[in-house]
Amino acid sequence: MSALKNIALLAGGFLIGTAGVKILSSKEAKKVYAHTTAAVIRAKDCVMTEATKIREGCGDILAEARDINEKREREVSSHEVIEDESAPVTSAEEV
């Protein structure tokens, strides 16, 4: 009985597999694959458009940050005290 059951399961699996291959290779299935692929391509284009916008925004932020740092550096360098190197420096030990 067990052998007959195994043979029946094998034959059923073979029939289902064969039918599955026929269904998956049918014209209707190919249309579904084409439409699905087209939708994925549209989604990819949308994502890439958004990624480009984000990248451009990050570039603007980076440029503005560099401008801020350059301005700050100019302000700091203009406020630095210039020491007179011609005057002799005396330490506490010499006095």
Domain contains 32: yes
Structural domains of the chain, count: 1
Q: How far is CA 90 from CA 23, 83, 95, in A?
A: 97, 14, 7
> Are the CB atoms for 55 and 49 separated by under 8 Å?
no
> pLDDT tens digits for 67-89?
999 999 988 888 765 565 665 66
Q: What range does the domain containing 59 cover?
A: 2-71
> pLDDT tens digits for 4-51?
888 888 888 877 887 777 777 888 889 999 999 999 999 999 999 999
- Structure token digits, residue 22: 């026929």
